[in-house]
Amino acid sequence: MEPKQLIAKAVEARKLSYSPYSHFAVGAALLCKDGSVFVGANIENSSYPLCMCAERNAIYNAYLNGKKKEDLVAMALSADTDEPCSPCGACRQVLSELFPKDAPIYMSNLKGEVKETNIEELLPFAFSEDALK
Ligand code: THU
């Protein structure tokens, strides 16, 4: 699947966002080796700290459908931002453990702008399980 198609799926998933508090809808789509795609959107709550981001919902969705880190090949996210939407710190931490470190992450916005990166670039010196040994 081309990056453009994965980004289109993130834009589509964004429509599933439940964001009555921030009015900031985010969509994410995660591509697997077998061609399957798992999506996520941000889901908010009146108890604000319980809000869940699109990227974490997408990766948890993949894992809950039996996928593992080695099955994942790319992720796209999109929001109505001036610059391509960048994943928050909490999502970076989760991706650093559950998503391959050099797999492409396509940050995008509704203007069609795209920035390609990866989790190693987004979160250098990540806290990891190594510290717990
Ligand atoms: N949000 C995401 O879904 N992903 C990000 O990477 C940034 C923030 C959501 C959380 C909240 O529902 C809304 O956007 C405003 O912060």
Residue 43 CB: number of other CB atoms within 10 A? 16
| Number of the ligand 1 atom closest to the C-alpha atom of 44 | 12
Which residues are known to be catalytic?
55
For 20-43, write each residue's pLDDT tens digit: 999 999 999 999 999 999 999 999
Pocket test for ligand 1, best of 43, 51, 117 (most atoms within 8 A of CB): 51
CA of 45 to the centre of ligand 1 (A): 12
State whether the beta carbon of 21 lies less than 6 angstroms from ligand 1.
Answer: no
Residue of 47, 40, 37, 35 whose CA lies nearest to 17: 40
Domains located in the chain, CATH noted: 3-132 (3.40.140.10)
State whether the beta carbon of 45 lies less than 6 angstroms from ligand 1.
Answer: no
For 8-21, write each residue's pLDDT tens digit: 999 999 999 999 99
For 86-97, write each residue's pLDDT tens digit: 999 999 999 999
Bridge partners (DSSP) of residue 72 are 32
Q: What is the pTM of this model?
A: 0.96
Instruction: Tell me what pLDDT residue 104 has.
Output: 98
